């Protein structure tokens, strides 16, 4: 996984020289600001036997050209998706939800993190240890 996505061309998201086996396939790119568009769930109102749908909104050079993509997953396809992702490390699984604490280096949940003086996410207790602060900060 790479954190540097600044050089991604939304119209040609496959990195040049990478993934040669898949060069003829259609590629999509979902940047951090569109990550919330990713959804996985039943394709209908939850009636038995309905397939699941994976959906997302890919990036486009012109935001008006963005169109949601829907992928129908049969039970077998859903199982394959699970098999491919079940052994991800907690850090990989939580990518975008956690970050490295700028002080202690451990993962901090971004919903609970606070920014330090360099605007980097830190644990509340690490912030208090570094700068002092009220008891409720822990």
Predicted confidence (pLDDT) per residue in 57-67, tens digit: 998 888 898 89
CA gap 65, 58 in Å, rounded = 10
pLDDT at 60: 87
Which parts of the chain register pLDDT below 70? 1-7, 46, 90-91, 93-96
By the 8 A CB rule, do 103 and 116 touch? yes
- Let me know whether 65 and 96 are in one domain: no
> Is 9 part of any domain?
no
Same domain, 24 and 82: yes
Cα end-to-end distance, the chain, whole Å: 32
- Asked whether residue 27 is domain-assigned, the answer is yes
Q: How many domains does the chain have?
A: 2
What domain range includes position 127? 92-137
pTM for the structure as a whole:
0.54
Burial (CB count <10 Å: 0-12, 13-18, 19+), residue 69: middle
């Amino acid at each position: 996984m790479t954190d540097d996505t600044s050089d991604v061309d939304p119209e040609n998201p496959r990195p040049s020289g990478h993934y040669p086996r898949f060069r003829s396939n259609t590629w999509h790119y979902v940047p951090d600001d569109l990550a919330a568009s990713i959804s996985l769930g039943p394709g209908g109102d939850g009636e038995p036997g309905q397939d699941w749908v994976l959906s997302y909104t890919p990036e486009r050079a012109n935001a008006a050209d963005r169109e949601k993509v829907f992928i129908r997953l049969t039970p077998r396809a859903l199982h394959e998706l699970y098999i491919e992702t079940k052994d991800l490390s907690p850090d990989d699984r939580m990518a975008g939800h956690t970050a490295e604490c700028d002080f202690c280096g451990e993962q901090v949940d971004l919903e609970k993190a606070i920014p330090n003086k360099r605007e980097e996410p830190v644990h509340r207790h690490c912030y208090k240890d570094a700068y002092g602060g009220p008891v409720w900060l822990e």
